A and B are shown apart, each in its own frame.
Chain A
Amino acid sequence: MEKSKNKDKKVPEKTEQKPNLVRNKPPHLDDIYACLQCGYCNSVCPVYQATGWESLTPRGKVYLLKQLVSKDSFLDKVVGKKISDYLTGRGKISLEEAINKIYNCTLCSRCETVCHVDINFHEYWEEIRKWMVESGIKPPENTIDMYNNIANKDFKNPFREPYTKRDEWYRDEFKLPEKAIIVYFIGCMTSYHEYQTLLNTLKVFKSANLNFTTLGTDEMCCGAINTMSGQWDNFKKIAEHNVREIEKRGAKYVITGCPACYRAFLKYRRFVKCNFKLFHTTQVVAQLIKEGKLKFSKNFKEKNLPIIYHDPCELGRILEYEGKNIFDAPRYILRNLPGIDDILEFRNNRMDSVCCGGGGGLKAVNYNLTTDITLKKIDEAIELGANTIVSACPNCKAQFSDAVKIKKDKMLANGENLKMKVMDVLDIVAKCL
């Protein structure tokens, strides 16, 4: 990472040189060449299923990359690249278009489950984006805005919300201590958009008498969106800031409800020494239930049953590739709540779970595409007879909520009614307290 920072410095911003992708070799070059082009990934890629274009499949993207980074062929050397492109009818590949294709991806890593030559796609796509940015290619406009918003002291979040707003939902209601053994790292999505889940999480932690606090207005975006869009250069700073704030509060444990934050914290360890243990909220709540520390007084409303659980990619499959998955904790919680006998599963679940569409920063690049993907999932949930879609990720929840609204409107236009709720696991737990 140090190296990459130095590289960045070497390239003066103002000259805007044409990036030389051939000389500046990408990471995992062997993966690019190893790709068999068998197209197994097409069958599982949610973006391909929604669009149907080869250029939006892992196979197509790898092929494109191969074209962008490979040396001139024999023919190119003999007659020159321009003429050979003309003779072969290929024409020039627009770099901007190719980059756009590569960013049209949910980073869900489902392609890795079927990859014939075992390409580690969960890190591959992130590394490729990082390499592109380091080579002087601009990431999509929206992600640059997000990057700037995070770096801005007035915001410290990608959504351009004032940082002072971060704790206004709970500051007065929950008087949290200055110092505590546990820090609940809320995350921007939960802080600004899914504050219901935030309040519910606080309620659950309070009812279990946990000794916890939050970073309040000192919390800074975890930086996950920067790593997803390839803009790593201030990631170390972000890591240092958040870790310092956690240490200030004397915490030994960090709990987060956002899988993206969870993974960003795992990456912090590459840059900063982290003297705390990391947990996802579902892991903690599952443990609390096991130890009998949560007293439930209400049954989950029967009219919202049955519920279907969606595995967030970053909590399940990708974490499995990075070490240890969290498949069972959310399911354990749901099965042990009063009023819930069993939960439905999507046809593709756990390692094979299909992304909700909102992953990988795709929302910032191609919003319509994300809803197309989500609508397919909602159709499946309806078909399976679910009345509530449950996830353990604020991003998934927001994504599903948006798409359910669209679906409801569509059905209403046909005179039909859709009864579908979208909830986080913690929302359900809080409802039963």
Chain B
Amino acid sequence: MIALDQQSNVSINKSNYLKEKLVNSEIYRNLADIVGVDRVSESNIDRLLYSHDLAPLPKELSIVFKTVPDIVVKPRNADDVSKIMKFAIKHNVPVTPRGGASWSFGGVVPAFGGIVLDMASMQEILEINKENLFVTVEPGVNWKKLYDTLLNKNLMVGAYPSSAYGATVGGWVNTGGVGVGSYKYGGIDRLIRSLEVVLSDGTILNLGCKNVLNNSSGYNLTDLIVGSEGTLGIVTKITLKIFPAPEEIRPTTFVFSSLEEAGKAILDITRTEITPYHISFLDGSHYDLIRKLETNTPKVGAILNVIFSGNSSIIDINEAAVDSIMAKYGGRKTNKEYADHEWNERFFESKARRLGPGLVVGESFCPVSQIVEMIRRSKTVLNKLKMNGAVVGFIADPNTVLFMTYAVTNEQKLVKNLASLALVKKLTDEAFKVGGRPGGFGLLFSGNLKKIHGKGVVLMDDIKSAFDPHYIVNPGKLIESSTRFGVPIPGFAIGAGLNVMAILKRIMPSDKIGKKKHGKK
């Protein structure tokens, strides 16, 4: 149904599919009237640079999806966005909002070209309210900047993404993020007080309650936006609850003989009343890869980081309790320097990319009770696909562990690189088997939506239609993958394709990795 809608509405003239120039310079002039000429660009360079995110999508994919936008616009405020949306609806131009583009699933990559709205241009922190502990920001505010600004005022955001240097607040809302601090404070859904959203028809809505919890009667519309991958509307303002900065943030690190043992220890901690700020784990193979880059990296079986926050004397008590749990599973506590180093490295877990060069990441949520099983399965997948990678992740809440298992690939080799995407599919399969679910879908994996939500997808379809009847807000994502020609790609087809890739990957020789010779001196 949606495919039909889309064919009739999106301004891809059926007979002119291949004749590009969806948007001509008349549209440029119109948009420039709204935001000013220095905030619009349709130069080839800018269009190319706004056609990708972390994922190294091959050029060939642009035949199937029109990943290169026709025009890039940098709105200044909600009014600008509203005007742009009104314009887009009138001319049936797809609009794809974009934040920091630090995700690796192509959520900000257009499927049908059109307008890319660079929301990173709206980066003001509008209000820090100390009396009632909330902060109102524009969507393009960088998490690290927000974190630092609040810390200067002795306040703190609850949780932030492990890509805080690159990620924006709006981006994390739309990808329904969990991250550093989520164990204690919850994911972004638990931190949002209110959202300002511009719908496709240009209506500016205020969802949620700025000052208080929104738990009482009424449909919780803010939660609809969380994890919508920008398909329902354009978020233009976010109010988050904030917290007094803790007296201390104390990272501790434990070395285990294997990740499975660390998994057992994690299960044990999460079954106590102790609530650390953050718990993260990394397999020894991660450090084996890092050692190829930084030779002084010590050899370990696995690393478990437990970070405490709060009053120092209470941390002392909790730390002692965690120490004894760790000792039960053979966890050896490292010194403070090592723990601090690990804590500082929390933003830099993808260094191994240099070894390929290339990296593919599979995100999946699994029950903590199945953590050891999932670790085993993930390692088996890596081995079967003959990939060099590591099982890493963190605990999102006492029931949920987020695996961010990665593998090094070589993006210069088209077939092998595409075949590496099979890792994402295989890890997803394993996650389903242990009762979990994959993370985000982005451009390619929206087929998973039905697997997770079953018939709920029909309802989601209706919700999408209610928010965006003309199907112009980030079309081709989440509800249904669709090629640029308007032909939908069913989930099973992508699944089957990736299974073929997996077989291919198993047949092909294993990946060669290693630091390439540095071209200097």
Contact = CB atoms under 8 A, between A and B. Distances in A.
B485 to A, nearest CB: 12
A361 to B, nearest CB: 21
A30 B100 contact: no
Q: Which of A88, A89, A91: most chain B CB closer than 10 A?
A: A89
Contacts of A27: 519-520
Nearest to B43: A97
A67 B48 contact: yes
Contacts of A98: 45
A76 interface: yes
Interface stretch (B60-68, B244-252, B497-505): B60-68
A114 interface: yes
A97 B56 CA distance: 23
A73 B74 CA distance: 31
B53 to A, nearest CB: 7
Given A33-B412, A89-B66, A42 B100 contact: yes
A288 to B, nearest CB: 36
Contacts of B357: 30, 33-34
Contacts of B113: 89
A52 interface: yes
B44 A90 contact: yes
A52 to B, nearest CB: 5
B46 A55 contact: yes
B47 A38 contact: no
Contact of A34 (B39, B53, B145, B354): B354
B321 interface: no
A44 B347 CA distance: 15
Contact of A92 (B44, B144, B359, B519): B44
Contacts of A114: 165
B338 interface: no
B81 to A, nearest CB: 16
A53 B41 contact: yes
A127 B144 contact: no
A38 B48 contact: no
A38 B46 contact: no
A92 B45 CA distance: 9
B419 to A, nearest CB: 14
Contacts of A89: 20, 47, 62, 66, 68, 70, 113
A28 B49 CA distance: 21
Q: Which of A44, A75, A116: most chain B CB closer than 10 A?
A: A116
B45 A40 contact: no
B45 A30 contact: no
Contact of B293 (A44, A87, A118): A118
Name the interface size band of chain A: 35 or more
Contact of A88 (B62, B121, B144): B62
Contacts of A52: 39, 74, 118, 120-121
A89 B20 CA distance: 7
Contacts of B121: 52
A73 B59 contact: yes
B18 interface: yes
B455 interface: no
A400 B516 CA distance: 42
A347 B357 CA distance: 36
B50 interface: yes
Contacts of B509: none
Contact of B45 (A64, A70, A76, A86): A64
Contacts of A42: 100, 120, 142, 166
A87 B145 contact: no
Given A36-B353, A117-B354, A118-B293, A55 B68 contact: no
A218 to B, nearest CB: 32
Nearest to A117: B354
A39 B68 contact: no
Interface in B352-388: 353-354, 357, 359
A67 B58 CA distance: 12
Nearest to A25: B519
B285 interface: no
B166 A38 contact: yes
Contacts of A64: 45, 48-49
B224 interface: no
A36 to B, nearest CB: 5
A94 B163 contact: no
Given A43-B144, A67-B48, A91-B44, A37 B59 contact: no
B350 interface: yes
A127 B165 contact: no
Contact of A75 (B46, B60, B74, B515): B60
Interface in B113-140: 113, 118, 120-121
A245 to B, nearest CB: 28
Contacts of B48: 63-64, 67, 90, 93
Interface in A52-91: 52-55, 60, 63-64, 67, 70, 73-76, 84, 86-91
A91 B59 contact: no
B47 A90 contact: yes
A101 B351 contact: no
Contacts of A33: 357, 411-412
A8 interface: no
Contact of A116 (B18, B120, B348, B517): B348
B275 interface: no
Contacts of B37: none
Contacts of A84: 59
Contacts of A91: 44, 47
Q: Which of A29, A37, A70, A86: most chain B CB closer than 10 A?
A: A37
A371 to B, nearest CB: 16
A41 to B, nearest CB: 8
Contacts of B89: none
B49 A40 contact: no
B452 interface: no
A67 B62 CA distance: 15
A128 to B, nearest CB: 11
Interface in B466-521: 515-520
A164 B121 CA distance: 49
B49 A60 contact: yes
Contacts of A43: 142, 144-145, 165-166
Interface in B52-89: 52-54, 56, 58-60, 62-63, 66-68, 70, 74
Nearest to A32: B357
Given A60-B49, A73-B414, A39 B519 contact: no
Interface in A235-273: none
A98 to B, nearest CB: 6
A90 B66 CA distance: 10
Given A37-B54, A116-B348, A54 B62 contact: no
B101 interface: yes
B421 to A, nearest CB: 16
B45 A101 contact: yes
A76 B62 CA distance: 12
B400 interface: no
A43 B161 CA distance: 15
A156 to B, nearest CB: 30
Q: Which of A36, A74, A94: most chain B CB closer than 10 A?
A: A36
29 contacts: A27-B519, A30-B517, A33-B412, A38-B54, A38-B102, A39-B101, A40-B166, A43-B145, A52-B39, A53-B41, A53-B46, A55-B49, A63-B48, A67-B48, A75-B60, A75-B63, A76-B59, A87-B62, A90-B47, A90-B48, A94-B43, A97-B43, A101-B45, A116-B348, A116-B353, A117-B353, A117-B354, A118-B351, A127-B520
Given A38-B350, A54-B50, A89-B62, 12 more contacts: A30-B354, A30-B515, A43-B144, A52-B39, A55-B45, A73-B414, A76-B59, A87-B62, A88-B68, A93-B44, A93-B45, A120-B520
Interface of A: 27-30, 33-34, 36-40, 42-44, 52-55, 60, 63-64, 67, 70, 73-76, 84, 86-94, 97-98, 101, 114, 116-118, 120, 123, 127, 347
Q: Which 4 pairs, one residue from A and one from B, show the smallest C-beta to C-beta distance?
A: A88-B62, A40-B165, A39-B166, A34-B354
